[in-house]
Amino acid sequence: MIRKNLYSILVALIIMYLSMASSHTFDRVPTFNIPHFDKIVHFGMYFSLMLVILIENRNTLKNFRQILLIGLASLSYGIIIEIMQSTLTVTRTGDFFDALADLTGISAAILIWFLVMRYKKQAFRY
């Protein structure tokens, strides 16, 4: 199972590192003058995580319920990280709106997955 989901685990570990690292770690990273840019980053991280999980498990996913459960697991992971930021770090804080951005990224990945799968089935029907 680990080998089958290697990229999903790698993405999840990268998200964990980026979420738990001291905020001073990112002081040298050029910042964009975009309001709430961190929410865009959260969206992108969890969109990527969900999409990688779906791609790696594409041959075993049978129904919407399985995909929904994977999405809920990914969201739970994000919420746990937000709680860990609030309780285990000094320079980071958990944020409800970060979790909401995570949910939005996960939902977008699922929506795009279904649209692509629907198109793919129609393309091979002829």
Give a yes or no: residue 30 inside a domain.
no
- pLDDT tens track for 32-84: 677 788 899 999 999 999 999 999 999 999 899 999 999 999 999 999 999 99
Instruction: Tell me the residue type at 5.
Output: N
Q: How far apart are CA 65 and CA 122, in angstroms?
A: 22
pLDDT recorded at residue 7: 96
Question: In terms of residue numbers, what domain contains 99?
Answer: 6-24+36-123
Within a domain: 107:
yes
Here the tokens at position 102 are 């995570």
Q: What pTM was computed for the model? A: 0.88
Whether 70 maps to a domain, the answer reads yes
